[in-house]
């Protein structure tokens, strides 16, 4: 069923937004972003016909039960699981080449994240890449091939799924890419100790249409469009964790993985 849930947007017009990640320099604020929390309706995408699609709404649910043999072993995760993720994205997009390049492990249980590779869910409407940082990621990762690759269509697609148990707590909500205007996107710096990345945060609009898949299981996987160089399809897709008011009190914490991929087309 549809739910009402709080989504954390940013106020626009307050200067360039930034967040420091991992370490904040002395004398600096961890962030200058001004939040704008809104309660929105989030549709149960399982009840929608037709269901959202990657090239239109920017998100697609696929049946895919693969999970890493040991998600906390980073080397094994990359050598064993990345190729399987790449094959999934090739199958569902028709890309001629897919390269997985990054991943995150998350848990909604704060105690589980202490001193481990697990991170907390992201409670901010955001998109992982921007008009500028999408192509820059190709240049960073594939400098010798970047000019040739950027001459053709490419996309950045996130592969997100729960592991170990259904995602009752902190399910992922995704905003229909068709309802996001360019003026809704807020360029936001992520400041690391050694570099600065750029994502999109979002300003609120009552035109935004939010979806989620309640009680997603480890047999299900979301494909999320975070960048596309083509202009005739979904390009940027806001997403965030939400609090589902229907979560059973005894439900286990959400544990999830997300893998970022570059998809190159002819």
| Spatial separation of the C-alpha atoms in residues 157 and 258, rounded to whole Å | 10
The tokens describing 153, both together, are 């269509």
Q: Which two tokens stand for residue 237?
A: 């897709």
Q: Which of 55-64, 70-79, 149-158, 214-223 has the lowest mean pLDDT?
A: 70-79
CA neighbor of 257 nearest in space, from 71, 63, 79, 66: 71
pLDDT of res. 114:
76
Evaluate if residue 8 carries a pLDDT over 80.
Answer: yes
Which pLDDT score, from 0 to 100, does residue 116 have?
Answer: 75
pLDDT tens readout for residues 83-121: 999 999 999 999 999 999 999 999 999 888 877 778 999
Report residue 131 as tokens.
């008009």
Mean pLDDT over 14-35 rounds to 91
As a whole number, mean pLDDT of residues 197-208 equals 97
Separation between Cα atoms, residue 104 and residue 214, nearest integer Å: 21
Least Cα distance to 174 among 258, 93, 241 occurs for: 241
Distance CA(245)–CA(242), nearest Å, equals 9
SS (H, E, C) 145-183: CHHHHCCCCEEEEEEEEECCCCECCCCEEEECHHHCCHH
- What's the pLDDT at 119? 93
Mean pLDDT of the chain: 95
User: Does position 247 have pLDDT exceeding 80, yes or no?
Assistant: yes
d(CA 95, CA 81): 19
**Confidence (pLDDT) at 13:** 75
pLDDT category of residue 22 using cuts at 50, 70 and 90: confident
């Amino acid at each position: 069923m549809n739910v009402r849930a709080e989504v954390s947007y940013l106020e626009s017009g307050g200067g360039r937004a930034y967040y420091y990640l991992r370490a904040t320099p002395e004398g600096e604020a961890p962030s200058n972003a001004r939040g704008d929390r809104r309660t929105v309706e989030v549709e149960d995408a399982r009840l929608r016909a037709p269901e959202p699609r990657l090239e239109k709404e920017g998100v697609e649910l696929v049946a895919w039960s693969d999970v890493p043999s040991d998600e906390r072993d980073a080397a094994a995760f990359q050598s064993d699981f990345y190729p399987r993720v790449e094959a999934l994205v090739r199958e569902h997009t028709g890309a001629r080449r897919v390269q997985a390049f990054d991943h995150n492990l998350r848990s909604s249980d704060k105690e589980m994240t202490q001193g481990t590779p697990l991170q907390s869910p992201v409670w901010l409407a955001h998109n992982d890449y921007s008009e500028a940082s999408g192509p820059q990621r190709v240049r960073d990762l594939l400098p010798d091939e970047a000019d040739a690759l950027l001459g053709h269509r490419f996309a950045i697609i996130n592969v997100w799924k729960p592991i170990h148990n259904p995602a009752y707590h902190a399910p992922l909500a995704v905003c229909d890419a068709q309802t996001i205007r360019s003026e809704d996107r807020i360029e936001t710096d992520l400041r690391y100790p050694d570099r600065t990345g750029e994502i999109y945060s979002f300003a609120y609009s009552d035109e935004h249409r939010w979806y989620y898949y309640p009680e997603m299981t480890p047999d299900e996987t979301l494909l999320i469009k975070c960048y596309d160089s083509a202009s005739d399809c979904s390009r940027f897709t806001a997403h965030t964790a939400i609090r589902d008011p229907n979560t059973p009190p005894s439900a286990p914490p959400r544990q999830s993985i997300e893998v970022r991929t570059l998809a190159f087309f002819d």
